[in-house]
Amino acid sequence: MEIFVTGGAGFIGGHLAESFANGGHDVTVLDNYEPYYDLGIKEHNAEIARDAAGDSGGSYEIIEGSVTNADLVDDLTENVDYIYHQAAQAGVRTSVEEPAKVNEYNVTGTVNILEAARKNDVDRVVYASSSSVYGKPEYLPYDEDHPNEPVSPYGVSKLSGEHYTRVYNEVYGLPTVALRYFTVYGPRMRPNMAISNFVSRCMCGEPPQVYGDGEQTRDFTYIADVVDANRALLTDDSADGEVMNIGSTDNIDIATLAEVVRDEIDPSLDIEYTEAREGDAEHTHADISKANELIGYEPTRDIREGVRDFIDWYEANRDWYEALVVDS
């Protein structure tokens, strides 16, 4: 199959591109190489996916460009079967500082993808949404019927993209699925995330640093589980027109997470607390029963297992990864 992955040199997109290429598919990646973090990580993602294609007999091509370029997107999707739309301006705090930029990438870019998919009769568009669409919890865990009151421009942009995917499904008959990711982590993750920060600091003999009081909770989702959910949509059309939570069902407060990481690496270290950051949701926790029912989604790791796996990967890849994390 011909698969188009936007943001395919990023963390989640890179893992998807690698998995599809490893499966013998023909993969085209579009990424604008936004310097949100050290681009060496994106270059590494592209290299791994390219090698996977070489080993499997599939193909891999990466094109530098933006989803905001409607003509480019249209050209690249002419012969595509599936689109996995991962491209976005990431970062809640970045969105607070630059809301117009986030809107351009995350909303206008999404409309460009959907319109190109409609014109070119693409079989399915899978849209990467976020738990940030929920905002203030009225109850936990969040199910997909929970009210949406995002507390950041990033959350607003992701919710807008969801509505566009729904409308393109209802009005134009374009098969679309929106996946609400809950704090994804794992090998080659972005360096500015809590787990990568905690691990890198502890590995360097520095105490993990918690923003705020550490009582905020997160549902952390291992990257392999996210890949499995996306891969299911290559063959399963039962979720077309739907939005689904992709989480772990296992949430943890940030202070305890810091302790878990610290205890795995160097129990002698203290925990440092610093000023809370604007725009962060207080709590996330996923009800994944809908994804389980529609596509058989089942997470494979709880947070402690996933942290151990990530630390093992970090130690094995420390030579190249740590330099990029520390510099970011």
Give the max Cα distance, the chain.
59
On the question of pLDDT at 179 being above 90, the answer is yes
**Active site residue ranges:** 154
Residue 139 confidence class, pLDDT cut points 50, 70, 90: very high
Residue 249 has pLDDT above 80, yes or no: no
Average pLDDT over residues 61-74: 98
For the segment 219-245, the average pLDDT, to the nearest whole number, is: 97
Q: pLDDT at position 277, please?
A: 76
How much of the chain, in percent, has pLDDT values that exceed 70? 98
Is the pLDDT reported for residue 276 higher than 80? Answer: yes
Would you state the pLDDT for residue 326?
64
Q: 33 and 39 in contact (C-beta within 8 Å)?
A: yes
Average pLDDT, the chain: 94
Name the more confident of 232 and 283.
232
Residue 327 pLDDT more than 70? no
Q: What is the pLDDT of residues 113-124, one digit of tens each?
A: 999 999 999 999
pLDDT confidence of residue 92: 83
- Over 90: is that where the pLDDT of 23 sits? yes
Identify the CATH number of the domain defined by range 2-186+220-250+280-301: 3.40.50.720
CA distance 64 to 61: 10
Q: Where are the domains of the chain?
A: 2-186+220-250+280-301
Which residues are 211's β-sheet partners? 274
Give the distance, in angstroms, between the CA of residue 87 and the centroid of all CA atoms in the same chain: 9
Strand segments (E) across the chain: 2-6, 26-31, 59-64, 82-85, 124-130, 176-181, 184-185, 209-211, 217-219, 221-222, 243-246, 251-253, 272-274
- Alpha-carbon gap, residue 49 to 20, rounded angstroms: 9
Q: Would you state the pLDDT for residue 17?
A: 98
Looking at residues 90-109, what average pLDDT do you find?
A: 92
pTM, 2 dp: 0.95
For residue range 193-214, what is the model confidence (pLDDT) as tens digits?
Answer: 899 999 999 999 999 999 999 9
